Amino acid sequence: MRAAAPGPGCPDPSGRPPATRRQATRRQATRKASMTLMISRRGLAGGAVAAAALLRPGAAPAQPAWPSRPVRFVIPYPPGGSTDVVGRLVGQALSEELGQPFVIENRGGATATIGSQLVAQSPPDGYMLLLSNIASHAIAVTLFRSLPYDPVKDFTHIAMLVTTPTILVVNPSFPAKNLADIVRMSKDAPGGLDMASSGSGSSNHLLLVRFAELTGAKLNHIPYRGGGPAMTDVIAGNVPMMSDTLPSALPHLRSGVVRPIAVSGPERSALVPDVPTFREQGIDLINLPWYGLSGPAGMDQAVVRRLSDATRKVLGSAALQARLAELGSMPGLMDPAEYTAYVAAEAQRWAPVVRASGASAE
């Protein structure tokens, strides 16, 4: 027969009274709950430690070294102009040096600000870079009332690349032989003379504006979306003349489809030694457009250093220097700090020139 369960007030087989037995049961339950909580806390703590370990430098899975894929290299002008020529040369050299393609992406328009804004708003991972220049990062600051980016704060400036003089060219059928002829003819012609440039507010445009201010020439500015389209119309005779950077104009000068009038450097170019400077023709005017390498703000400094070192190396190569010299360009060789300071200074320097000219892109 089964033993009857202990009744109320009767001790159990262990001899403990019911009240003592209930207390022991509660203590056992409390110990089990505490042990479960400790185990859970240990598990959470272990997970936190593991997570923290993943966040420690060197503990995370190794990331591919930059660059591990192609780099988009934005040139903020259409193909065919001087910016495009210089950008493609440097992009090819960096591609060979860094072992990944630098894919050229032409994004012209709005005085080089469309392509510049694209890069400013891109992730700062080093896979989208910009051929920054005097128009997009110095002139546009004053030219636009509401520029969609800050030329210093919204970019990581990596290296100055090159500077290059501007040259004034005319269609071969145009009768002017020098700057004095252009000034005289512009005053005699009803409505003045048309003169093209690579875009409103470009350094080529402001050269023409300054030329008119210094001489009293009556010029009608005809802006194009880049030096290439402007040169096409000058060659065709649709516009009699234009200012262009020497690298862009040089092939056309050599083929004879345009004729040179003046160069804007402080001295004559060895590539066109027979062409006098503006100063030699009595006009105190110097204009040296520049091009640099920039990315969005916040780029990793290790990537910036690698890019800066690679740029210095390729610009120091005899082969690239010779090629740039053939185009009339000179290496700039500025490091990130120097180039950042230079961009800021250029924006300040061009501000009164733009205001005095009355030029506006809006």
From 243, 244, 249, 186, select the one nearest 220 (Cα to Cα).
Answer: 186
> HSE-up of 194 (CA within 13 Å, CB side)?
13
3-class secondary-structure state, position 49: helix
CATH number of 166-281: 3.40.190.10
DSSP H helical segments within the chain, as ranges? 18-55, 82-98, 113-120, 134, 140-143, 179-188, 203-215, 227-236, 246-255, 301-315, 318-327, 336-357
Q: Which residue has the higher pLDDT, 25 or 297?
A: 297
Q: Which amino acid is at 113?
A: T
Q: What is the mean pLDDT of the chain?
A: 85
Mean pLDDT, range 51-56, rounded to an integer: 45
Residues of the chain with CATH 3.40.190.10: 166-281
Q: Which amino acid is at 39?
A: I
CATH number of 71-163+290-357: 3.40.190.150
- What separation, in Å, do the N-terminal and C-terminal C-alpha atoms of the chain show? 106
Residues of the chain with CATH 3.40.190.150: 71-163+290-357
Distance CA 227, CA 106 (A): 13
Q: Please determine, for residue 52, whether its predicted confidence score (pLDDT) is greater than 60.
A: no
CB-based burial, 99-123: b 16+ in 10 Å, e otherwise: ebbbebbbbbebbbbbbbbbbbebe
Percent of the chain scoring above 90 in pLDDT: 60
Which residue's structure tokens are 């023709």?
A: 281
Other C-beta atoms lying within 10 Å of the C-beta of residue 137: 28
Distance CA 95, CA 138 (A): 28
pLDDT of the residue at 26: 54
> Token pair for residue 120?
């400013």
Q: Which residue has the higher pLDDT, 264 or 210?
A: 264
CB-based burial, 192-220: b 16+ in 10 Å, e otherwise: ebbbbbbbbbbbbbbbbbbbbeebebbbe
Radius of gyration of the chain, Cα coordinates, nearest whole angstrom:
35
pLDDT of the residue at 23: 53
Quick: pLDDT tens for 212-271: 989 999 999 998 877 889 999 999 999 999 999 887 898 999 999 999 999 998 889 988
Distance CA 45, CA 254 (A): 75
Mean pLDDT, range 34-44, rounded to an integer: 44
> Token pair for residue 93?
């050299």
pTM for the structure as a whole: 0.70
Q: Please determine, for residue 332, whether its predicted confidence score (pLDDT) is greater than 90.
A: no
pLDDT of the residue at 257: 98
The pLDDT-based confidence of 203 (bands split at 50, 70, 90) is: confident
3-class secondary-structure state, position 5: coil
Distance CA 216, CA 258 (A): 25
Mean pLDDT, range 104-132, rounded to an integer: 95
Q: Which residue has the higher pLDDT, 81 or 28?
A: 81
Mean pLDDT, range 319-328, rounded to an integer: 87
Mean pLDDT lowest among 113-117, 118-122, 204-208: 204-208
**The 155-163 sheet, strands edge to edge:** 102-106, 71-75, 128-133, 290-296, 155-163, 330-334
> Token pair for residue 155?
């970019």
Distance CA 139, CA 346 (A): 8
Mean pLDDT, range 77-102, rounded to an integer: 91
Quick: pLDDT tens for 168-182: 999 999 999 999 999
From 284, 308, 282, select the one nearest 295 (Cα to Cα).
Answer: 308
